């Protein structure tokens, strides 16, 4: 396992998303055409940043920054887009029911959000995916690497080691031909850990800086096929006096993640907390960060309890029906329940109206 960007990289380009999420080119033009002091005063007034932070951001914008642009705007026909998506493999979850519901697993080139209350298994699923993305192609895997951004300090090395050992054993038992047997010789716990790039971000400033620098890192590591942010909610929950500022920053984060998912053919998996919303005198549990953020993920997966059972519900997807499956967390990782009493079925839509959700509400 490797770490990246722990020190200096986190201290520059503060809150750069605020400037870049609409148009970096417009911002750069603005820097060139306006008087420096007038621009600086206006920028400080608008963002609430300190003078030192504002100067660093404007310098980064004028210099082109590291946000990366790629070929996001290149035109494709619908047929070319379909062929491109069909070429991309999904990342299996090791829950056959959930994989089937998702059409093969977590899709590459899209954003998948995993929501749920504490202790339901969001981080466990992320750790499982960090291992599963490395499954060799001859076993139906992606055979890639992973960038794991940890904002809560929930990345447990021993747990990852246990999940990796179980995945290695699973593939060894499945090996039938020479190609698969050869692949198991290099698919080991040590190689799995060496292909996980870990970043620890302590607040939203560090997270924004890492996302700004990440395209360059992805360009240098083309085998990365998964970006995990666990969680996106934690850095943005309580430190904003104005909801509008948080919304602007989150919109920028969402746009950056969409661009990276498409440009670099990676799967972006983010976790989100739940919050209590009061409506009509009753409390409702809804995903945190508000309604605007809910448009960023392509797929939203809700993990929830029903009695003692763990249920995973696909409640937002452009190409999958709203489906509920049962799963369990075992010593080996994220798995199907032993004897699921609930078949896959279409379920009533949960309350996802979050327009009144406040960032200072208590998470559940």
Q: Sort strands 274-279 and 282-287 into parallel, antiparallel or unpaired.
A: antiparallel
Domain borders along the chain are 17-64, 76-346
**CB within 8 Å of 35: residues ≥ 6 apart:** none
Supply the pLDDT for residue 7.
43
Contact present, 159 and 188 (Cβ < 8 Å): no
What pLDDT digit, counting tens, does each position of 271-321 carry? 999 988 888 888 888 899 888 899 999 999 999 999 999 999 998 998 888
76-346, which class in CATH?
A: alpha beta
pLDDT in tens, 139-175: 999 999 999 999 999 999 999 999 999 999 999 999 9
pLDDT of residue 200: 97
Task: Give pLDDT, residue 3.
Answer: 64
DSSP codes of every residue in 215-234? HHHHHH-TTEEEEEEETSSG
- Cα 129–chain centre separation: 11
Burial class (CB in 10 A: 0-12, 13-18, 19+), 45: exposed
Q: Which two tokens stand for residue 132?
A: 């599963």
- In tens digits, the chain (364 residues) has pLDDT values of 766 554 434 343 444 444 444 434 444 444 444 456 777 787 777 777 788 777 777 766 655 444 444 444 456 788 877 777 777 789 999 999 999 999 999 999 999 999 999 999 999 999 999 999 999 999 999 999 999 999 999 999 999 999 999 999 999 999 999 999 999 999 999 999 999 999 999 999 999 999 999 999 999 999 999 999 999 999 987 777 788 888 899 999 999 999 999 999 999 999 999 988 888 888 888 899 888 899 999 999 999 999 999 999 998 998 888 899 999 999 999 999 975 444 444 443 444 444 344 434 444 4
Task: Report the predicted TM-score, pTM, of the whole model to 2 decimal places.
Answer: 0.74
Q: Find tokens 């914008």 and name the residue.
A: 61
Phi first, then psi: give them for residue 315, nearest 5 degrees.
-115, 5
In degrees, to the nearest 5, what angle opens at C-alpha 304 toward C-alphas 299 and 305? 165
């Amino acid at each position: 396992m490797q770490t990246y960007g722990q020190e200096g990289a986190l201290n520059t380009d503060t809150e750069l998303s605020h400037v870049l999420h609409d148009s970096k080119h417009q911002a750069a033009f603005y820097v060139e055409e306006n008087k420096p002091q007038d621009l600086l005063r206006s920028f400080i007034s608008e963002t609430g940043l300190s003078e030192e932070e504002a100067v660093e951001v404007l310098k980064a914008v004028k210099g082109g920054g590291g946000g990366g642009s790629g070929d996001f705007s290149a035109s494709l026909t619908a047929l070319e887009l379909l062929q491109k998506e069909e070429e991309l493999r999904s990342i299996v979850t090791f829950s056959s029911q959930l994989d089937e519901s998702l059409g093969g697993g977590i899709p590459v080139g899209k954003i998948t959000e995993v929501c749920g209350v504490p202790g339901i298994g969001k981080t466990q699923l992320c750790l499982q995916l960090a291992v599963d993305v490395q499954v060799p192609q001859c076993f139906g895997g992606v055979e890639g690497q992973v960038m794991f951004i940890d904002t809560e300090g929930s990345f447990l090395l021993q747990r990852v080691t246990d999940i990796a050992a179980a995945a290695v054993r699973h593939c060894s038992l499945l090996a039938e031909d020479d190609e698969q047997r050869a692949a198991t010789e290099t698919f080991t716990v040590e190689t799995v850990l060496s292909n996980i790039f870990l970043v620890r971000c302590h607040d939203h400033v560090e997270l924004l800086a890492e996302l700004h620098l990440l395209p360059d890192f992805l360009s240098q590591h083309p085998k990365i096929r998964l970006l995990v942010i666990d969680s996106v909610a934690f850095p943005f929950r309580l430190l904003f006096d104005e909801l509008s500022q948080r919304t602007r920053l989150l919109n920028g984060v969402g746009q950056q993640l969409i661009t990276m998912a498409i440009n670099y053919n990676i799967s972006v998996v983010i976790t989100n907390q739940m919050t209590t919303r009061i409506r009509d005198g009753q409390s409702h549990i809804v995903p945190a960060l508000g309604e605007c953020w809910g448009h960023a993920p392509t797929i939203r997966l809700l993990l929830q309890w029903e009695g003692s059972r763990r249920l995973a519900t696909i409640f937002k997807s452009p190409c999958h029906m709203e489906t509920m499956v049962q799963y369990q967390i075992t010593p080996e990782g994220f798995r199907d329940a032993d004897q699921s009493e609930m078949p896959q079925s279409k379920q009533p839509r949960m309350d996802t109206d979050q327009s009144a959700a406040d960032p200072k509400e208590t998470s559940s």
